[in-house]
Structure 1
């Protein structure tokens, strides 16, 4: 098998349970080999193009996998199911959360109290349901009145699928793409720069930036340097993960780093020592007690939620034996896997 066939097998089997993955991969590999041989013998393809032509003939790997695994794509209809699913997942990934966040901000500004949280969650759920309903209705209408009917494998034509769109094989030695590492380091650099920049004033009064700092200047005696050191450790840890992958030791280190950030920040905030007195004095006249309580809950929940999510994500990757690159599938011929 070549890399192109391996990529096709990976795309077709990655969403299946492990028990089905090996059998389907083996069957597909045999079918691809037979198709290549048949095309070459019949003269339909040259030996150089037979593999790509065979994959085009087989069609979209997700649609083909559905026919093998008794998971017919029938919610909308085989012709448009993949297009509907891809668009639905894309829209649901950010539209409800964005609408809920904007609604919560508007309710807080208008003087809303603790009930803002429940209202925002309700709005987000409502938007998600409405979005799914109307998108499905549109595709059902298209499916009903479109004269061209097709099978699941013909959905590739609807998606404009080609073998060049196949996902790259996961790399066991480099489970995280370099772009992810760079993005993480950039965000850490921005966080460090913000800690320094905010000290020179982050409040705008009358259209001009004031010298009022956001964080209490007294924190420079220990806690702000502590956070800068912690950011440096996070950067070093990100590089280490890029090079070494996830394991239980690294997952524990990740939990410790997240706790080392979340616990002091939340404690300082609850004790009233995180924000500068000047900043609090400027903001308090514009907020009532309920608004202050809501913003405080959102801040604490945000810090705890982000850190907990990152810690749990590391634990899950360690439990799976590593990051994205440790996915086990037939056809993965990386050097590390072959050495096992």
Structure 2
């Protein structure tokens, strides 16, 4: 069991494609070292000595990785690159959708193909640079805060520090976190680069009509809060991707961030001035309740969803990892 935990602790630091072969080679190595031990030792003593000789799993993982990286740190580098790719792809998709929507439904009749392409390339370049800067800052912050908790010297490591093998249900779906981050990045990109295309398009007679969702003048004053909201949501999913399984600390961190995000979100949507007069008039024209009443129900829905997410996170954190560190 201790051997399995050690192998897991080593392979979880490696890219997924290298894990099966590394696990096989490492198990053979450990078995050979145990066989070479003095027969006067118990099996537990042999395992303990072999694992101490091999040392901290994180340092051994660097050996199997083949080289050390220090931009973010060996423990986070592969995940950093992985998330960076997600953010870059999300920004490109978001700006592509936004540019296409602006070209189809925008009011700028003087726009030229060259102008649209030039603006698109400039926005993509600027967006990717900003996204990369924020991802780097987040990972650097995580690395800085993780070092005193988990990074230990070779001499200070002990087999008793090995984490338990996680239950299958304790794993956090990487696919869900990736999708959530891509969605958040796409929406954030629209808010910052082309907020005028966010709205409702509909056919009336033989013509397309468009109702903007937001009052652009008021929206500008809320951009920083909106940026914080989406950054928090992205950070929540980054924590899940980095850890890969539920622990109590992961649950507590995601709970705190979710509560902050929900509070800021409610503050924004409940402000009537952020919504365009056209959307308010159209809503109240076709529906039997006032727009303000709808916002009240929407706020209640946000609160209920947040409570459900918080309860689920705390339950999983307490059940699967109350004794673990982040």
TM-score w.r.t. length of structure 1: 0.38
Task: Choose between structure 1 and 2 for higher RCO, CA contacts under 8 A separated by at least 6 residues.
Answer: 1
